[in-house]
Amino acid sequence: MHLLIIGGSPDHQGGVEAFCERSAIALNRRGSHEIEYFATGNAFMKLRGIPKLLRGLRHMLSYRGKQLDCVWVQYASLPDLIYAFVAKRAGFKVMITPHLGSNWRSQKVAALRALSKWLLRSADRLALISPTQELEIALPAGVPRSPIRNFLPAGILEGSMADLSQRPPDTLQIIHSGRLSEGKGTFMVVELCARLKQAGKPFATTITGTADEATMARLHAMIAQHGLQDDITVTGRVSEEALFGYLRGSDVLVHLSSIDSYPLIVLEATACSVFPVCMELAGARDMVETYDGVIVSVDHAVDETVAALIDADVTELRARAAQVATRVRADYAWDNCARALEQALKACVG
For residues 9 and 17, is the Cβ–Cβ distance under 8 A?
A: yes
Q: What is the pLDDT of residue 100?
A: 86
Tens-digit pLDDT profile for residues 326-345: 999 999 999 999 999 999 99
Predicted pLDDT of residue 334: 94
Q: Are 131 and 111 in contact (CB under 8 A)?
A: no
CB 80 within 8 A of CB 94: no
Question: What percent of the chain clears pLDDT 70, i.e. is strictly above it?
Answer: 96
pLDDT at 101: 80
Average pLDDT, integer, range 124-132: 94
The answer to whether the beta carbons of residues 247 and 274 sit under 8 Å apart is yes
Nearest to 133 by CA among 291, 143, 124, 43: 143
Average pLDDT in the chain: 92
Comparing 18 with 235, the larger pLDDT belongs to: 235
Which pLDDT score is estimated for 11?
63
3-class secondary structure, 203: strand
pLDDT band at 169 (very low <50, low <70, confident <90, very high): confident
Closest CA to 246 of 277, 272, 223, 220: 272
- How far is the C-alpha of 185 from the C-alpha of 187, rounded, in Å? 6
**Structural contact between residues 332 and 155, judged by C-beta atoms closer than 8 angstroms:** no
Is residue 286 a contact partner of residue 310, using CB atoms and an 8 Å limit? no
Q: Which pLDDT band holds residue 46 (cuts at 50, 70, 90)?
A: low
Strand 172-177 relative to strand 294-296, pairing: unpaired
CA distance 39 to 9: 5
Which strand (E) or helix (H) includes residue 80? helix 80-89
Write down the pLDDT at residue 245: 93
Q: What is the pLDDT of residues 303-319, one digit of tens each?
A: 999 999 998 999 999 99
Q: Which range has the worst mean pLDDT, 186-190, 281-285, 305-309?
A: 281-285
Evaluate if residue 142 carries a pLDDT over 80: yes
Question: How much of the chain exceeds pLDDT 90, in percent?
Answer: 73
Q: Is the pLDDT of residue 21 over 80?
A: yes
